[in-house]
Every structure is written in C-alpha cells, then in structure tokens.
Amino acid sequence: MNHCQFATQPDTAILESISLALEQEPHCKKNQAFLFGLGQKFNQTRQYSEAVDRLEAAILLDPNHWEAHLEFAIALEGMGDTTSVDGILRNLLAIEEIPTPLKRQIKAQLEKRQISIGQVTAKRTVIGMIAGYDDNLMGATHVSSFDLTLPAGRIPVRLGDDDRPKGGNFVRLNFEHEGFVPETGSDKTWSYTINANYRFSPDYTPANFGLFQLIVERGASKREGIYTSGGALLMQSAAGASLRHYKLGTGYDLPNTGGSCRLRLGSEFERRGYPSTDALNGYYVGGMSFIACPALGIQAQIRFGRDEPEYDKRPGGSQNQYVMRISKNTTWGQNNLVSEMEYYRQEDQHGYSPLLENNLKRNINKTLYRLEYRTQIADLGPYIGIEYVDQNANLPLFRVSNQVIYAGVRAVW
C-alpha cells in the first residue's frame, strides 16, 4: 500500500493535509510526486522556505517535471530570490509541453520584471545570538606535562595555569547576509555572502574575538557548469592573535542526471597570514568534492591538499592536509535535528622540534561532532546544541579536547 500520497481535502483543510503529510514524510523522501505535492501545499500557505526544500528535492528526482519548476519559482519569489526566478521562467518558455496560455502568462511576467534585472536582490539576512558554556575557550592542550628530549636525556616540564584549558560562559552575536546579481547577457549569476560575528566571555576576556568574512562566487544560474569563487576572512582576538585568510576556487557543478543528489568538483588556493606570528604563514593548494542530497537531508565534503610555509622557520615545514565532513538534517514539521561530523588529518613533512620526541614529525587527527535541534516559532528560530572536539597527536603537547553546550535564536528575513 502506498502511503506517500495526499488525501483529498478542501482548501479549508490544507493545514490538516500538511500535518498528515509531515507524518508520512520520513518514509517518502524519494517519492517525487509526494515531495512536489507537499511543496505545493507549503506555497499555498506561504511557507516558502519549507516549500523550497521539498521542491528542490522533487526536481532532482525528476528534472523534466515542469510543474515542479514552476512551483519552485513561486517559492523562490516568496523568499526574495528574484534572480533565480528569472532564470527558471526563461527555461520554462522553452518547454513544448507547457500550455500556450501559461506561456503567455510567463512571458508577460518576465516583461514586467525587466525593470529589476541587473539590480542586487538580497536573498536572506540572518541576525542571531548564542549563549553557552565552553570548557576550553582558548583551545589549550589537555595534558598537564610533557618531556623535553635533550642529548642528556628527558626533562619533564609541567605546564603552568596560564597554559591549561580555561572554561567559561560566552555570548556570540552573528550576522549573515546573502545577495545575487545577474550577469547581463549570460546565464551566469554573481552571489555574495557576508558573515560577521563577535564572541564575548565574561569569565575570560582574552578569549573574546571578532570575525568578518566575505565570499563571492560566479556560477551558472541552473547550478550546472563552471564556477569561480573568492573570499577573505579577517579575525582579531582580545589576546592579540590575528588571522588574515584569503581563498580562490574554481571547479565544475555536474549536471543532475535524474538522481536525488548534485555534485561539485573543484580546486582551491589559500593564503593564511598571522601578523602577530608570521612563522605560521602558509599557502594551501588542493582539491575538493561536495555532494548534496536534499531529499535525504545529507551533505558531504572531502578536501585534500598541501600547505607550504611562507618562511622556512615554520615548525614541521610542509603539511599534507585531509578533511572529511558529513551532515544529516532530519525534518519533521517545523522542527529540525542537525547532526554533523568532521574529521581532519595533518601530516608534517619535517620534524617539529629537536626538543620534542627527538624531532618527531607531527601527525594530528582531529574529530568534531555536533548535534543541534532547531524549531520555528513565528519569525524566530530558537535552537540548542552540543559540540565535542577530540584532537589526538603523536606529540602530547598538541592533544586537545573541547566541549561546548549552547542555545540561541535566529531571525531571518
């Protein structure tokens, strides 16, 4: 028996239809007709962000279902992403199966929208606040002592209180803004993202820091083809540490072949600078792959590359780096449970120091786990979460553990 269908309901019972469908959704993630119907219902109740997720998944399952593309355009319009809407409407005009009267309506709508072409259209702005407790605000090693290796033998060294982990409460303010600019005369779209946040700890002020990030990307409006991107990240801490991180990337968004996932392959070039500790400066070159499966709520990324020091004085010299990240988003109604795991491995190509394990080459294995529950109350999105970081290394001085619990709220428009 097929449970992935909507019972016939009058318009006055549309909310009941949505409620029943949400109960069935965990078993219907790969049913295109079900996802299309649910997205359509969300559009009718103006829950556009919910509609976008379901309709995108429906399109990936059946790229030729033009009704899903039309509903997707309606949802994006409701969220303010007029640039993507224009591209979808133009593509719909080329589909023979669309009835002529509907094509006339689409063409008339496009003509009305010509005034806005070329203008910057904000897709989303998010302001939020997080409060929580971090048991290792500075990311200090969890060992209390280590050995110096000298020709005469080992000398134990005990770390002072200033070098041990310090826990405390914190508050973080977050701001995020995204925008889109269509490129005149082509199917390319420029997008940008601005992130800014500030963390404050009343228990340990050296852990306070501010961060600003800008990301710009040029890609195809249909998410198929070559993309290029660039970004900059600036960070300053109250303890005096600072970071200047610049990044360039390019690659290819593979066309969807009728499956439920989309794939990106690319290469990356990065430059990291530490004005207060230039011995750590370096250049990174590597490759990456990213896959997203909206119907399953899964995203995964793999990065691999080599980081070369800017100066020969960097301990450990060149580094081979590998990163794997996977996340799962489980949705029911207005609620989301997000689980994430990230694994990082670093392999130094030269000994770190003659004083540490007789110049042993440093290897680091770091794993991050995060679990976050989100819900929606009117225009606000409260959430709670827990994060755990475990960093192991063959040099004891670089063994770190970190636990964070937090609660926050977001406002999106």
Domain boundaries, the chain: 11-116, 121-412
Whole-Å CA distances, 85 to 96, 106, 249: 19, 11, 26
| pLDDT at residue 7, as a whole number | 54
| pLDDT at residue 224, as a whole number | 80
Q: Does domain 121-412 have CATH number 2.40.160?
A: yes
| pLDDT at residue 3, as a whole number | 67
Concatenated DSSP letters for 211-238? EEEEEEEEEETTS-EEEEEEEEEEEEET
| pLDDT at residue 131, as a whole number | 98
| pLDDT at residue 91, as a whole number | 78
Q: What is the pTM of this model?
A: 0.75
Region label for 77, one of left (φ > 0), alpha (ψ between -120 and 50) or beta (otherwise)? alpha
Computed on alpha carbons and rounded to an integer, the radius of gyration of the chain in Å comes to: 25
Q: What is the mean pLDDT of each run of 10 residues along the chain (413 residues)?
A: 58 70 82 87 81 86 85 78 70 79 72 46 81 95 89 88 92 92 77 95 95 93 85 94 96 74 93 92 97 84 97 94 94 83 97 92 97 87 96 95 96 82
Q: Determine the Cα–Cα distance for residues 27 and 73; give it in Å rounded to an integer.
A: 26
| pLDDT at residue 162, as a whole number | 83
Listed in sequence order, the residues at least 6 apart from 369 whose beta carbon sits closer than 8 Å to its beta carbon are 340, 341, 387, 388, 389
Listed in sequence order, the residues at least 6 apart from 103 whose beta carbon sits closer than 8 Å to its beta carbon are 92, 93
Listed in sequence order, the residues at least 6 apart from 377 whose beta carbon sits closer than 8 Å to its beta carbon are none
| Chain centroid offset of residue 280 CA | 26
| pLDDT at residue 301, as a whole number | 97
CATH topology of domain 11-116: 1.25.40
